[in-house]
């Protein structure tokens, strides 16, 4: 089977290379926003849009008008135009919202589809118009390299190397199925009785975040002290995100390694976050990231992942007799009036998710 796999590394550019990288992400943002504005104006006048090839043809004249664009790799500019064209296509197909203008400091990145070189023996990557940049070579890159994407986050630079490689999936087995009920009191309760504690990384450091945010707001914007404080706040936010990702990575790996059939809920996380009383806690627990990790790890391990339909009443159903009753959030024990059984609310839900998942399961 042919699959795409990406390897992400931390870059360590020098001062000159950092300036060139900043010019590159700034120029990519400028070109993207320029053609987005051009399309909006054209639609208001003529009710039409211009797409990939037409926009690319306008790039040479745009470089003459704005000479700083000549300092950036031309194929990176073309890739930015293609990304905008793809965003329009996805929008018209109803798969995404209408493209928005890119903002400085948010999703700063650019892609080099050609002319780059990965020098693993030197721990360097040659980036067109930037030069040979050191990177932290933490793992060997296998497969055919297709492109590299350079990104900036919290004043740090990263490179993502996209490869195409052939893999052989292990033989599929169906042992030890499990149902998973995620929650806020506990991160997850499994149908085998295991309970995973919710670490609450954000909540534990929320007061410190507020304190650092207040310090930032009291300083003059873009002053040296403001920049120092912004970096300090960004590092704290990055620490929380890294802790959460590490926790979810370890939990998902353990579940996929120990279970061949995994049943989970299809949660509407975006809709649930709109609840202002629970939005912080839901964002902190990372259900969406956890589900994504289970999906790609199950794929590479050739395990079966079943998503139970979104509106299945797993918390309201008795796992023993199947009767239904209302279960407000404050009730932590399910007491069935039909069969007189008493069971923990979350454990009962995990059993129902497992039973429903096995019914939906098609080997």
Please tell me the predicted confidence (pLDDT) of residue 329: 86
Domain boundaries, the chain: 2-166, 178-360
Catalytic residue numbers read: 181, 265, 346
Secondary structure class of 259 (helix, strand, coil): coil
Strand 117-119 and strand 156-166: pairing? Answer: unpaired
CA–CA separation, 199 and 206 (whole Å): 13
Q: What are phi and psi of 290, to 5 degrees?
A: -65, -45
CA–CA separation, 86 and 52 (whole Å): 8
Contacts made by residues 39-42, CB under 8 angstroms, sequence distance 24+: 39/88
Q: Indicate the Cα dihedral angle 219, 223, 229, 235, nearest 10°.
A: 140
CA-closest candidate to residue 126, choices 161, 80, 74: 161
Secondary structure class of 60 (helix, strand, coil): helix
Full pLDDT tens readout for the chain, 363 residues: 899 999 999 999 999 999 999 999 999 999 999 999 999 999 999 999 998 999 999 999 999 999 999 999 999 999 999 999 999 999 999 999 999 999 998 889 999 999 999 999 999 999 999 999 999 999 999 999 999 999 999 889 999 999 999 999 999 999 999 999 999 999 999 999 999 999 999 999 999 999 999 999 999 999 999 999 999 999 999 999 999 999 999 999 999 999 999 999 999 998 999 988 889 999 999 999 999 999 999 999 999 999 999 999 999 999 999 999 999 988 999 999 999 999 999 999 999 999 999 999 987
Contacts of 286 (CB under 8 A, 6+ apart): 244, 245, 248
DSSP secondary structure code for residue 317 in this structure? B
Q: Helix %, strand %, coil % for the chain, to 5?
A: 45, 20, 35
Please tell me the predicted confidence (pLDDT) of residue 262: 97
- Strand locations in 113-213 (E): 117-119, 124-127, 131-135, 144-153, 156-166, 178-182, 186-190, 195-197
Residue 7's H or E segment, with its range, is: strand 2-12
CA–CA separation, 188 and 235 (whole Å): 28
Give the burial string for 141-174 (b: 16+ CB within 10 Å, else e): eebebebbbbbbeeeebbbebbbeeeeeeeeeee
Q: Identify the burial level of 291 via C-beta atoms within 10 angstroms of its C-beta, where 0-12 means exposed, 13-18 middle and 19 or more buried.
A: buried
């Amino acid at each position: 089977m042919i699959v795409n796999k990406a390897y992400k590394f931390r870059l360590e550019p020098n001062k000159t290379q950092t300036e060139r990288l900043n010019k590159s992400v700034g120029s990519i943002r400028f070109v993207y926003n320029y053609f987005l504005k051009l399309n909006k104006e054209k639609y208001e006048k003529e009710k039409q849009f211009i797409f990939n090839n037409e926009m690319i043809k306008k790039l040479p004249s745009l470089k003459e008008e704005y000479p700083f664009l000549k300092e950036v790799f031309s194929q990176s500019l073309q890739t930015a135009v293609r990304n905008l064209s793809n965003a329009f296509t996805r929008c018209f197909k109803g798969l995404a919202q209408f493209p928005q203008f890119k903002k400085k400091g948010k999703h700063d990145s650019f892609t080099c589809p050609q002319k780059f070189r990965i020098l693993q023996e030197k721990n360097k990557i040659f980036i067109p118009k930037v030069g040979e940049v050191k990177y932290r070579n933490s793992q060997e890159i296998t497969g055919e390299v297709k492109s590299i994407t350079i990104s900036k986050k919290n004043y740090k630079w990263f490179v993502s190397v996209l490869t195409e490689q052939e893999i052989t999936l292990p033989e599929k087995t169906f042992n030890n199925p499990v149902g998973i009920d995620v929650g806020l009191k506990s991160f997850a309760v499994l149908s085998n009785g295991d309970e995973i504690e919710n670490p609450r990384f954000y909540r534990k450091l929320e007061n410190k975040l507020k304190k650092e945010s207040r310090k930032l707001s009291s300083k003059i914007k873009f002053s040296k002290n403001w920049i120092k404080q912004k970096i300090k706040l960004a590092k704290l936010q990055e620490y929380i995100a890294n802790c959460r990702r590490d926790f979810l990575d370890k939990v998902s790996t353990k579940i996929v390694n120990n279970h061949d059939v995994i049943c989970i809920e299809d949660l509407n996380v975006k809709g649930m976050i709109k609840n202002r009383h629970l939005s912080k806690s839901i964002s902190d627990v990372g259900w969406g990231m956890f589900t994504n990790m289970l999906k790609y790890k199950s794929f590479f391990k050739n395990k079966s992942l079943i998503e139970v339909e979104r509106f299945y009443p797993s918390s309201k159903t008795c796992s023993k007799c199947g009767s239904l009753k209302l279960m407000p959030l404050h009730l932590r024990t399910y007491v069935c009036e039909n069969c007189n059984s008493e069971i923990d609310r979350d454990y009962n839900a995990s059993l129902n998710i497992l039973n429903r998942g096995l019914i939906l399961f098609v080997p």
